[in-house]
Amino acid sequence: MIRRRKTRIVNVGPIKMGSKADIVIQSMTKVPTEDIRRCVKEVKELTDAGCGLVRIAVPTKADTAAFAKIVQKVDVPLIADIHFSPARAIEAIEAGAAKIRLNPGNIKKRKDILRIIDAAKMHKIAIRVGVNEASIRDLKKQDVSASGRVALMLREMKKYVRIFESRDFRQLVLSAKSSDTVRTIEINRRIAESFDYPIHLGLTHAGLPEDAIVPSSVALGTLLAEGIGDTVRVSIAGKGVLEVKIAQQILAALGYCRRAKVELIVCPTCGRAQIDIIKLAKKIEKALININKPLRIAVMGCVVNGPGEAADADLAICAAKNKGYFYRHGRRISVVPEDKIIKVLLKEIEKLKPANTK
C-alpha cells in the first residue's frame, strides 16, 4: 500500500540501499572504539538483533587504527562516523569502511571534501552527507523560525551535494537531523523532493528510551508512511539493541518487514474481561521470549469482542471465567482451563506456520 519514493541505488559494501531494496536498520556502537574487544562484541549483538549496518565513531587516529581491526573481525559492513578531521575520513576509507558519514557543518573546506571524494571513489565506498541542525553555523547565531531552519538545512545540503556531483560522485546517502520531530519530518520531505539519493532517517538526541520512543516513531513513521526513507536509525540514550528493536517495530507496523519474533497483541481490557489479562499477557510474553517465529498471537479478555478483534492473529486466546478459548486463524479450536493456557499455547505454536502476519 505504501509506495516508496524512487531513488537511485547506492552500494554499501554488499548491501544495496534505495527504493528497490529493503529498508536497512542501522545503529551505532556506544563503547570506546579503541576497545576493540568490546566494540566487536557490541557489533555482533547489534547484528544478531537485526541491525544491517553498524556505525562506529572514529574521532582519533587510534580509533581509525582500531576500526581497521574491527572491520576484519565482523561480518557486517561498517560505517565510520567522521567528526572534524578530513584525515580521519581518509584513514577510515583506507581501513575498510563501507560508508563514511560526513557532517557539512564540521568538514567545510572544498579541497578537503574533494580529497575525501577521490579516496571514496578509489575504494568504491558510499558517503552519507549528514546535515545536523545543531551544527549549522547560521543557526547558532540567529533566532531563526522553524521554516527558516528547514530552509537553511536544505541550503546546506544542496551546497554540499553540489561539490560531490561536480566530481561525478553519486554514491551518496542523505540525512538531515534535528531533535525536533516536526522539523525532522519537514526537512526530509524537502530533501525527498529535491534529490533522488537514498535517505537515512533519524531523530537526533531523542532522549532516554521512555522519552524517545514516541517522537522517533512519529517522525520516522510519518516519513516512512509517505514512502520516504531507505535506512533508519532510532537514536536513544540507551542500548543499541533497543534502538534496533524499536526500528523493527516501526517498520513492521507499516508493513515494511515481517517481525522476526512473535508479535503479542493484548486487548486493553475492560469491564467484560473475565480474567486478569495483563497478568496472563506478561506470563505469555515471558514464555515466548525465545521463540523466533514471526507469528501474531492475540490475548483477549472476553469471547464477546475478542474473537472478532483477533481474527487476523495466527493464534488467539479469548478468556472466559477460569478458561481460555483458543482460535487458530480465526477458527475456534479448543477450550482449556486457565492454568493450562501457556502449555497449550506453546504446543500450538510448535505446530504453526506463520500466516496472516503483515
Return residues touching ligand SF4 (CB under 6 A): 267-270, 272-273, 300-302, 304-306, 309
Q: Give the residue carrying C-alpha cell 520512543.
A: 213
CB of 311 to ligand SF4, least distance (A): 12
Residue with Cβ nearer ligand SF4 (76 or 300): 300
Residue with Cβ nearer ligand SF4 (179 or 305): 305
Cell representation of residue 331: 477458527
The dihedrals phi and psi of 257, each to the nearest 5 degrees, come to: -150, 160
Residue with Cβ nearer ligand SF4 (240 or 301): 301
CA distances from 271 to 40, 53, 184, 266, 317 (A): 51, 46, 41, 15, 18
CB of 266 to ligand SF4, least distance (A): 9
The SS3 of residue 63 is helix
CA distances from 33 to 39, 55, 111 (A): 6, 11, 28
CB of 83 to ligand SF4, least distance (A): 51
Residue with Cβ nearer ligand SF4 (25 or 303): 303
For residue 178, which of 135, 222, 218 has the smallest C-alpha distance? 135
Cell representation of residue 114: 574533494
Strand partners, 149: none
CB of 343 to ligand SF4, least distance (A): 23
CB of 126 to ligand SF4, least distance (A): 48
Q: At 117, which helix (H) or strand (E)?
A: helix 110-122
Residue with Cβ nearer ligand SF4 (51 or 277): 277
AA identity, residue 56? I
Cβ atoms of 300 and 319 within 8 Å: the answer is: yes
CB of 303 to ligand SF4, least distance (A): 8
CA distances from 182 to 4, 99, 137, 139, 357 (A): 21, 28, 21, 17, 31
Q: Which residues of 96-116 are buried (b: 16+ CB within 10 A; e: fewer)?
A: bbbbbbbbbbebeeeebbbeb
Cβ atoms of 149 and 139 within 8 Å: the answer is: yes
> Measured on CA atoms in the order 108, 113, 115, 116, is the torsion positive or negative?
positive
**How far is the C-alpha of 229 from the C-alpha of 287, rounded, in Å?**
35
Cell representation of residue 72: 576484519
Residue with Cβ nearer ligand SF4 (60 or 269): 269
Residue with Cβ nearer ligand SF4 (107 or 275): 275
CB of 271 to ligand SF4, least distance (A): 7
CB of 296 to ligand SF4, least distance (A): 16
Q: Which residue is nearest to ligand SF4 (CB)?
A: 301
Residue with Cβ nearer ligand SF4 (196 or 309): 309
Residue with Cβ nearer ligand SF4 (80 or 297): 297
CB of 289 to ligand SF4, least distance (A): 24
**How far is the C-alpha of 178 from the C-alpha of 120, rounded, in Å?**
27
